[in-house]
Amino acid sequence: MHRKECCRSCAGQLYDAFAAANGVRPDAAFEEKLLASISRYPRLEEYLEQWTEVRVGLMPPPNSATILKTSCPICEALVSVIFVGSPLLRAAESLFDLFGSLVTRWEYVGSQLMFEARKPDEGEMQRFEAIVSEYTHGEIASDSFSTPRMSAPSVPQNARDVVARSIELGQLWIVAHELSHALQSSVAIYTDLGSWRDRGWIEDILNYEFPGVGEDTRANWAIELDADVKATDIMFDALFDRMKTIENHTMRGETAAGMLCGGLAVAMEAIYRLEVAVIGEEVRHEGYVPEHPPSHLRWKSNVERTGFLSRPRKDVDLACFGSILGGISQRFRTRHQEERKLY
């Protein structure tokens, strides 16, 4: 929430105009739920309160999350509003509730995670298609997440906890990504997030992974990867701050990094699944300039970033939770993916 009254009313008008122009309908229940999640991470809440405000609503995709910016007509301060489409947040939740319900074993033997998941049955494949199809139509059936599938007795409690937390962190990472776009207009915050460096390494990643992409695409992707890693920095900061009970700093960092990778997996996998469904045809058009880099590049660069933020430990793979969640997701090779030959 902006601090000054003039900026608050400017933000209100900015959002109302956006909502009217795009046919956004309110989703008060989910907005409340998201704000409650944010309040569990005081550092994230602080950043949001200092720089912007958050709204959630029903809007047809692909505009699933965005940042609205203007300058206050009275005090000329930068005013921004983060809008997150609830179909995206709800779909992320429904998809990972479904994925989590396949887990049959999740226990630690020493420091090693023993993990097993079964194959989805026909009904579960249909459920997956239904979630994706509801998303592409900008509607989510009201009963979508009333009964979590993960609460089935076959699912170990550990798995339920990890997946539920990963879902929450994934949703918050999406908010943090949009927050980062607000911060891209401001230099001051860069010194706040002391770990932030220049963009040189993003250029390196693009040169290495995608030497052939055109200038427009490269420019878009650089902005998005920049927002991604800043979101990862913010979420790591928020998680690290929240785990005050762990006194050992190395262990605290490793725990935060592990959890964050779970959240990254949810965000990347949900965005990937839903983008494939929505822009699947568009990407084939000549001259198409993708706004976002491919999800696997986003996953890779953000997991690397997480490893950079926390000192690595030899016996624990930071990306372990994330890889497991991504692995379950891959069991759903679906009709729309096969038809469009997109993987």
117 binds Zn ion (CB under 5 A): no
The count of residues interacting with Zn ion (CB under 5 A) is 9
Residue 7 or 19 with smaller CB distance to Zn ion: 7
3 binds Zn ion (CB under 5 A): no
132 binds Zn ion (CB under 5 A): no
* Minimal distance, residue 78 CB to Zn ion, in Å: 9
309 binds Zn ion (CB under 5 A): no
The residue range among 65-73, 107-115, 134-142, 262-270 that interacts with Zn ion, by the rule CB under 5 A, is 65-73
72 binds Zn ion (CB under 5 A): yes
289 binds Zn ion (CB under 5 A): no
Residue 75 or 114 with smaller CB distance to Zn ion: 75
Instruction: Candidates 3, 4, 137, 197: give the one binding Zn ion (CB under 5 A).
Output: 4
Contacts to Zn ion from residues 5-24, by CB under 5 A: 6-7
* Minimal distance, residue 283 CB to Zn ion, in Å: 17
Residue 129 or 226 with smaller CB distance to Zn ion: 226
Contacts to Zn ion from residues 33-52, by CB under 5 A: none
The residue range among 106-114, 167-175, 216-224, 270-278 that interacts with Zn ion, by the rule CB under 5 A, is 216-224
SS3 sequence of the chain = CCCCHHHHHHHHHHHHHHHHHHCCEECHHHHHHHHHHHHCCHHHHHHHHHHCEEEEEECCCCCCEEEEEEECCCCCCEEEEEEEEHHHHHHHHHHHHHHHCCEEEEEEECCEEEEEECCCCHHHHHHHHHHHHHHHCCCCCCCCCCCCHHHCCCCCHHHHHHHHHHHHHHHHHHHHHHHHHHHCCCCHHHHHCCCCCCCHHHHHHHHHHCCCCCHHHHHHHHHHHHHHHHHHHHHHHHHHHHCCCCCCHHHHHHHHHHHHHHHHHHHHHHHHHHHHHHHCCHHHCCCCCCCCCCHHHHHHHHHHHHHHHCCCECCECCCHHHHHHHHHHCCCCCHHHHHHCCC
Residue 230 or 252 with smaller CB distance to Zn ion: 230
Instruction: Candidates 1, 17, 29, 75: give the one binding Zn ion (CB under 5 A).
Output: 75
* Minimal distance, residue 184 CB to Zn ion, in Å: 9
Residue 6 or 320 with smaller CB distance to Zn ion: 6
Q: Point out the residue whose Cβ comes nearest to Zn ion.
A: 72
222 binds Zn ion (CB under 5 A): no
CA atoms of 229 and 227, how far apart (whole Å): 6
Interface residues toward Zn ion, by CB under 5 A: 4, 6-7, 72, 74-75, 77, 224, 227
